[in-house]
Chain A
């Protein structure tokens, strides 16, 4: 019993220490955001890395998530004779929940791991230490642009995911299963409001901050060994996914 309690206490202490370290790191990154924004080329480069290079996976997944939503939504709605509501149901589901969450999970798996392993390898090969020795703050030069890149890319990817997802719903629901196109689009337009889109965008931004922060923190603080970089990459995916789902619940409740 004592051992269990001691382990619990150690884990709690470790957790609080980590949260404190992440908070300090976040404050340091935020303080370097304005100077990093002054060098816009570096930020654009990172938006390209985190965003443009994730486009294919985001669009492919968006399309198939939309198509699945179309099939399932149609199956459920036709039981009540209201298959015309497919556009509304699918769009609300995509805009408010599936779009931001699935995009964040994909972002963590594609861009997050790339960020963490890149920074981890830079740490392992002394590149970050070399920068410090050249009196160049790696937080300003390397971390902040990558963080901003992720934060900008994430809501954009979310919107693209939602757009392609709705196209997927329409493809299956209207083109294949015969839902009336006019009813599909008009119901969607009348029931999905600006506040729904804002909710999706806010979630996208929040997940962007969380996933990007986790990735740069894990990569920057990776143990400088092959195993250490591997662990940092794994932790990036796991922590980002858990954090995304916790944040999702909190934001959903707050914006109800």
Chain B
């Protein structure tokens, strides 16, 4: 456990003024299936907050709500006090310029090289001279250790490298909040270590807020200042990793300790096994 993680405050203890993102009693369903039923949480400004939970609990859906890609059926998602769902497209784009998002697969533009990918938001949003764009891009690529890969195409990058380029791109316009969607999935331990280090560096060197959505408990235990575990459409537990380890909730216990069976059953709901076999019904 890192020193910063040890000095963690309980996220619920954050006041509204300290929160850059506030989710208030959000309800959301997909195809009649309730994903969230009264979800409330706060993301502390300037900290690394982990959003964890078993697969299919709506972690990515929560990110979509925070970034305004979808709207809640009930409740509010506030970004720095602004109700995200109430914004027009133009206002939403203005708000998104304050956010950076790292996608699970990097989502790099496949027809552009690494340099152009990082330069993309600068070219779209600024009229900076080419020399300055070049310097900013090289600075961002240097920060993620890929200045030497500037001329490579996305297809030539490994999964870890693609995510580091995407991080450099997300950082290009110096956002206030960086959102990471499953940043560790499918990475080897070296790449994973690099990403963990970069998330910490970016957060504390630049004074930004980081929201990390993942189910990699081990990495998040090193990284996050505070964590939320989402299960059953609401927050099942929140706090520091130490607090979550000792949490009384069965589902939190199963998730944090990686147990195969528990409230999240090993078997998907099905008719009686023997009856189905005897019936000869596939």
Contacts and interface: CB of A to CB of B under 8 A. Distances in A.
Interface of A: 121-122, 125-127, 129-130, 132-137, 141
Nearest to B120: A134
Interface of B: 67, 69, 89, 93-94, 96-97, 99-101, 103-105, 107-110, 120-121, 124-125, 166, 169, 173
A130 B107 contact: yes
A127 B154 CA distance: 12
Nearest to A130: B107
A125 B124 CA distance: 20
A125 B67 CA distance: 18
A67 B121 CA distance: 51
Contacts of A137: 89, 93
Contact of A141 (B103, B107, B124): B124
Interface-central residue, B97, B109, B169, by most chain A CB under 10 Å? B109
Q: For the complex, would chain B's binding face be called helix, strand, loop or mixed by DSSP majority?
A: mixed
Nearest to B172: A134
Given A132-B69, A133-B99, A127 B109 contact: yes
Contacts of A136: 120-121, 124-125
8 contacts: A125-B110, A126-B105, A126-B107, A127-B109, A129-B69, A134-B124, A134-B169, A135-B125
B249 to A, nearest CB: 33
B211 to A, nearest CB: 13
B96 A132 contact: yes
Contacts of B104: 126
B121 A134 contact: yes
A42 to B, nearest CB: 11
Given A125-B110, A126-B105, A134 B96 contact: yes
Contacts of A141: 124
A141 B109 CA distance: 12
Contact of B110 (A127, A129, A134, A135): A127
Contacts of A130: 101, 103, 107-109, 166
Contacts of B99: 133
A210 to B, nearest CB: 26
A68 to B, nearest CB: 38
Given A129-B103, A132-B69, 12 more contacts: A129-B69, A130-B101, A130-B166, A133-B67, A133-B99, A133-B101, A134-B96, A134-B124, A134-B173, A135-B97, A135-B125, A136-B121
The 3 A-B pairs with the shortest beta carbon distances in the complex, nearest first, are A126-B107, A130-B107, A135-B93
Interface-central residue, B96, B97, B107, B108, by most chain A CB under 10 Å? B107
A44 B258 CA distance: 55
A136 B172 CA distance: 14
Contacts of B120: 134, 136
A127 B162 CA distance: 13
A141 B112 CA distance: 14
Nearest to A28: B89
B140 to A, nearest CB: 14
B258 to A, nearest CB: 28
Contacts of B124: 134-136, 141
A134 B119 CA distance: 12
